[in-house]
Copies of this chain bind each other. A is one copy, B any other.
């Protein structure tokens, strides 16, 4: 590969000093228009690109965001994070930020990586995903003054601590709305299949159902199944809900995996039209035609970057604790309605 031109090369070609070239790139406003054009022409002609490492060395900014990929999960739900990663790469690019990924098996491992990347000035901000109760990462990052934003609210500690910027999706509202919508369309006994209780997100989603179900205390127990995540678990739970003396006439689930199982079980039991709603709007849901509550990842990512770098597209350095700007965003998901129930494939039109 031919040697890349440097600022000096451009400077010489444009008959100016290196600093002027630098200014044309970084603060064009202070350069006289005439010279700016001349320098720009030289830049284009020579195909000059600033050397990222040199710039970073001087400015002490890497304009790079670190993101840890969770350990692979078997489940279907991992797809949400993949979409998040994708959107992040997309929007980061628009702001001239880079995204560097790494993996870690647990929180400690992740912190070790963060430390390494941060100390090496490889990265100047991190995005945490999937926060949990008593998450050790949060405290560590705050203590070491590492700029970060989490996708996931701080479970257990103050939601308003300005040192912890976060973005989250209001699962409770999502489930509440979906449940209300089912009731509005005529369902009177909407059941719920969700995860065991010490679960931040899970508990929120359940609360949404409780709020909108319109069931009395006894029925809230009756029409609720608690189970681990999984397709089989969803199917089993649905069979239970449908075998009650007064079976439920719609089911809302904490995940698409559960919903998929529930939907298939309903079909197997001869009720292909039973409305079933999942959560996360994964590719499976769309492939199967399952209604699902969709997290607005575009907005989530946009909010995340704004919290980290401000509104400007510029590579502004994050400021840990201001007292003016809000330091968190709670976004509202929306229900994606499909056949609303699993269509019996045997009766479909096709090739």
Partner of A100 from B99, B227, B235, B284 at Cβ < 8 Å: B99
With known contacts A51-B57, A57-B54, A93-B103, A239–B72 Cβ distance under 8 A: no
Q: Which of A218-240 contact B (CB under 8 A)?
A: 225, 227, 230-233, 235-237, 239-240
Partner of A102 from B1, B4, B93, B268 at Cβ < 8 Å: B93
Would you call B346 and A265 a contact (CB within 8 A)? yes
Instruction: Indicate if A185 sits at the interface (CB-CB under 8 A).
Output: no
Q: Which of A8-65 contact B (CB under 8 A)?
A: 47, 49-54, 56-57, 62, 64
A42 CB → nearest B CB, Å: 16
Would you call B101 and A101 a contact (CB within 8 A)? yes
A193 CB → nearest B CB, Å: 11
Partner of A235 from B82, B116, B284, B348 at Cβ < 8 Å: B348
Would you call A69 and B89 a contact (CB within 8 A)? yes
Instruction: Indicate if A120 sits at the interface (CB-CB under 8 A).
Output: yes
Would you call B86 and A103 a contact (CB within 8 A)? yes
Q: Choose the segment among A73-81, A201-209, A246-254, A308-316 that binds chain B (4+ C-beta atoms closer than 8 Å).
A: A73-81
With known contacts A98-B100, A227-B351, A265-B346, A260–B283 Cβ distance under 8 A: no
Instruction: Indicate if A324 sits at the interface (CB-CB under 8 A).
Output: no
A238 CB → nearest B CB, Å: 9
Whole-angstrom distance between the alpha carbons of A291 and B298 in the complex? 34
Instruction: Indicate if A175 sits at the interface (CB-CB under 8 A).
Output: no
Q: Which residues of B contact A283 (CB under 8 A)?
A: 73-76, 78-79
Whole-angstrom distance between the alpha carbons of A24 and B4 in the complex? 31
Instruction: Indicate if A280 sits at the interface (CB-CB under 8 A).
Output: no
Would you call A144 and B1 a contact (CB within 8 A)? yes
Residue of B at shortest CB range from A59?
B53
**Which of A50, A101, A231, A345 counts the most B-chain CB atoms under 10 A from its CB?**
A345
Would you call B116 and A101 a contact (CB within 8 A)? no
Would you call A121 and B53 a contact (CB within 8 A)? yes
Instruction: Indicate if A326 sits at the interface (CB-CB under 8 A).
Output: no
Residue of B at shortest CB range from A240?
B351
Residue of B at shortest CB range from A78?
B283
A310 CB → nearest B CB, Å: 20
Residue of B at shortest CB range from A288?
B231
Instruction: Indicate if A287 sits at the interface (CB-CB under 8 A).
Output: yes
Partner of A122 from B90, B98, B101, B350 at Cβ < 8 Å: B98
Would you call A265 and B121 a contact (CB within 8 A)? no
What are 5 contact pairs spanning A and B, CB under 8 A? A74-B283, A75-B287, A93-B103, A268-B346, A284-B287
Q: What 3 A-B pairs come out closest when comparing CB atoms? A: A236-B350, A268-B346, A49-B119
Query: Which residues from chain A sit less than 8 Å from chain B, CB to CB?
Result: 1, 4, 47, 49-54, 56-57, 62, 64, 69, 72-76, 78-79, 82-83, 85-86, 89-90, 93, 98-103, 113, 116, 119-122, 144-146, 225, 227, 230-233, 235-237, 239-240, 257, 260-261, 264-265, 268-269, 283-284, 286-288, 344-351
